[in-house]
Structure 1
Amino acid sequence: MITPEQQALVDAVRGLLDRRADSAAVRAADGFDEPLWRTLAEQIGVAALPVPEEYGGAGAGLVEAALVLEEVGRSLAPVPLLPSLVAAATTDDPDLLARIAAGEVAAVVLDPAEPVLYGAEATILLALTDAGVVLVEDAQVAPAPALDPTLRLATVAFDPASARRIVGDRTRARKAALVGVSALAAGCARRGLDMTVAYAKERQQFGRPIGSFQALKHRMADLLVLVETTRSAARAAAAGEIEPAVAAAYAKRAVGRVAAETIQLHGGIAITWEHDAHLVFKRAHALGQLLGPAHGLRAAAFADRPAQSSRRYTER
């Protein structure tokens, strides 16, 4: 359950994205819709959600951020909300938090070997190093190719010795990133299911909608279970009720399966450029790689409990 205030936030974001992030707008943005991002930041204050009020933020938490990210994932909106929210969770620097709350694009180098979401567009670039959290002011940043056309990636190279150490928290950064990926996956999975159900009601075969066939009903019911469980897991992780790595591992596998079924149940039309099914499929695979594959996250989550996890899988 979410509160009336949280529902009002979801409704406001969904209404804006329905108007400004339709299929044509998402495709035309080429991975970054800057006007849409400014509107989300300035009119709704999505970037300010996790920032304390004394620094110009809304003083909300990860739960509200996750609810907004679900809507961003559902619409496939090409905006840098995830990296900006991760940056806000990473630093305690008042000046940086105020800039993030105002809508400056922020990005975080979580792993120097991995591409950085919106690294080339960021005016605030943070990095997690062995020495702690640093503000990177001199880096070599280059756009990197991305399978998903609704996201932008960049390679970032810098000398840690030249970066400025700031007050921050690596654990918070990792948690926010995992929760964010889970929420985006939940939204993307919902988009795939909604598209599939709508198509099954319209597509006729043997004189009746294909959605009336029992076999397809069962498949879509299974997808609904995956979608609802993914959403519940993402929200539970945001609220601190389950481990974020566990939620992210489940979400990655679930959205991958939903995307695959979206392609299959749409048939041949799904593999055409004009249809949005391939956008869902590509977003699902991009989310499957962010922060590492599902099996790696699951292994890390149970690393401190080897006996318990081994017994569970042995019993299966």
Structure 2
Amino acid sequence: MSFDNDERADLRASVRNLLSKHSDSGAVRRAITTEHGYDEALWARLCEQIGVAALATPEKYDGVGASLLEVHVVQEELGRTLTPSPMLGSAVLAAQTLLLSGDDDACARLLPTIAAGSVTALCWAGSEGWFRFGVTAAGETLSGTAQYVLGGDVADVLLVLTDDGLFEVSATADGVTRRRVPTMDPTRTLAEVTFDDVAARRLVSSPDLVDSIRTVALIALSAEQVGAASAVLEQTVEYTKSRKQFGRAIGSFQALKHRMADMYALVETARSMSYAAALSGTYEDAVIAKVYCSEALQSVAAEAIQLHGGIAITWEHDTQLYFKRAHGSAQLFGQPRDYLPLLNSEAWR
């Protein structure tokens, strides 16, 4: 089922065409070995030719003025190819944090650079996970360590969420230490950012800022998961058409047809869940999308491993990359089990 109107269909076609030329399997594998962990030239093309980093930024801040549905399309396409990029961390999380904060001065200073492709990172989670801040504020001085920071090692500006509000820090400020950390998913880089009595600029912060950011984050991530699940399903179907056993393509065996039909049902249901969340924009629907899309991608990737046989677990084959993305993305912004109590709570019934 398609949720695209004509404009989103054109956007999808443009992004897919660009990625097909510059982000195939070989290009992705080369990108993850670079200093920044992504192809800077490809990111520049995505920003300059299509304007992906400016999509959901208002025109008064040099953006396109589109909606998060357009961001959803881009996230799906990036997920299909596992393309490493600053899209989720900078163009989505950081940009939306600024907009949701209501700080007009910060938006005017920072959003035009994000829209142009410059990287800004949001420091959020602590050592106990995504529901505890890693950094504390004493006045306008920050201390502590933020974990799992998307683009934290390459960002020019850091936005920092604390119990005392939102702050802005230059990535090169005295007392800031950044390092990239090992990840299960090599196509997504994460960093640890430590603040040792760092002077920061306090930004405007609304009371519901964290829940609003979390909503955007979960929806954007679910879009990426849908794209990845769709791609690995398509690759599996194609493989079963060409792989022969007992003189027949294995895709003709009824048992395997049933398994791929189940994979298809998971992908399409996940797509519906993700778009429902994007259309409603509510925290409740975002949580549902997070839980369902995380589990759907893990199931589809696991089935793909089985249906590809032994080649799927070799480094040379791409299926293992989708499997790692499935399990890595399930942890991002909190594991599904972290959200299940919310779905069962009386307040949501």
TM-score, L = length of structure 2? 0.84
The aligned runs of 1:228-243 (5 Å cut-off) are 228-240=268-280, 243=285
Give me the whole-angstrom Cα distance separating, in 2, the residues matched to 1:105 and 1:159.
22
What's the counterpart of residue 64 of structure 2? 58
Matching residue within 113, 119, 127 for 1:99: 113
What does 1:75-94 align with in structure 2 at a 5 Å threshold? 75-84=81-90, 85-92=92-99, 93-94=107-108
Question: In structure 1, which of residues 220, 225, 229 is the aligned counterpart of residue 260 of structure 2?
Answer: 220
Q: Give the 3 Å change call, closer, same or farther, for CA 303–34 of structure 1 in structure 2.
A: farther
For the 8 Å contact 1:189–1:258, the answer to whether it is kept is yes
AA of the residue aligned to 1:8: D
In the TM superposition, residue 136 of structure 1 has moved relative to its aligned partner by 2.3
Q: Which moved more, 1:139-148 or 1:209-218?
A: 139-148
**Where does structure 1 lack aligned partners over 5 or more consecutive residues?**
309-316
2-structure distance, mates of 1:236, 1:123 = 34
Give the drift of 1:109: 1.4
**Counterpart of 2:242 in structure 1: which amino acid?**
E
Separation of aligned partners in 2, 1:207 and 1:284:
33
State the match for 1:263 in structure 2: 305
Q: Does 1:158 align with 2:158?
A: no
Distance 1:20 1:62 in 2: 25
Cα offsets for 1:6-58 (capped at 9, x unmatched): 11001100000011100100001113111111111111100101100011001
Describe the shift of the 1:90–1:303 C-alpha distance in structure 2 as closer, same or farther (beyond 3 A): farther
Q: Which has the higher strand share?
A: 2
Cα distance in 2, alignment partners of residues 48 and 124 from structure 1: 17
Instruction: Give 2:69's aligned amino acid.
Output: V
Residue aligning to 1:136 = 169
For residue 14 of structure 1, what is the amino acid of its counterpart? R
Q: Say whether residues 1:183 and 2:223 are aligned partners.
A: yes
Partner of 2:137: none
Shift of residue 170 of structure 1? 2.7
1:50–1:57 Cα contact (<8 Å) kept: yes
Q: Which residue of 1 aligns with 2:155?
A: 122
Which runs of at least 4 in structure 1 moved beyond 6 Å after TM superposition?
none
- Indicate the SS of the match to 2:60: helix
- Residues 75, 177 of structure 1: alpha-carbon distance in 2 compared, 3 angstrom cutoff: same
**1:153: how far off?**
0.9
> Which residue of structure 2 aligns with residue 5 of structure 1?
7
Inter-partner Cα distance in structure 1 for 2:202 and 2:196: 12
The Cα offsets for residues 197-239 of structure 1, whole Å up to 9 and x where unpaired, read as: 0101000011110000000000000000111111111111111
Q: Does the 8 Å CA contact 1:197/1:220 hold for their aligned counterparts?
A: yes
Q: Does 1:197 align with 2:199?
A: no
Aligned to 2:314: 272
Contact 1:133/1:170 (8 A) holds in 2: no
Match for 2:186 among 149, 152, 159?
A: 149
Q: Deviations over 1:180-203 (max 9, x none)?
A: 110111111111101100101000
Q: Which runs of 5+ in 2 are unaligned?
A: 100-106, 128-146
CA shift digits 1:280-302 (9 cap, x unpaired): 01111110110111111232344
Rounded Cα–Cα distance in structure 1 between residues aligned with 2:241 and 2:320: 20
- Cα offsets for 1:88-128 (capped at 9, x unmatched): 11003211111111111122112133311111011122121
2:16 pairs with 4, 14, 17, which one?
14
Q: Secondary structure at the match of 1:115?
A: strand
- State the aligned residue count: 307
Specify the alignment match of 2:133 in structure 1. none
Aligned equivalent of 1:311: none
Per-residue CA deviations over 1:258-309 (Å, capped at 9, x if unaligned) read: 1101100000110111110111011111101101111112323444527x4x
* AA aligned opposite 1:266: H
Q: Kindly indicate whether the alpha-carbon contact (under 8 Å) linking 1:74 and 1:184 is maintained by their aligned counterparts in 2.
A: yes
Cα distance in 2 between the residues matched to 1:103 and 1:304:
43
Tell me which amino acid in the other structure corresponds to 2:215. Answer: K
SS in 1 for 2:126: coil
Cα distance in 2 for partners of 1:131, 1:302 equals 30
* Aligned with 1:254 (options 279, 282, 296): 296
Which moves more between the two structures, 236-245 or 253-262? 236-245
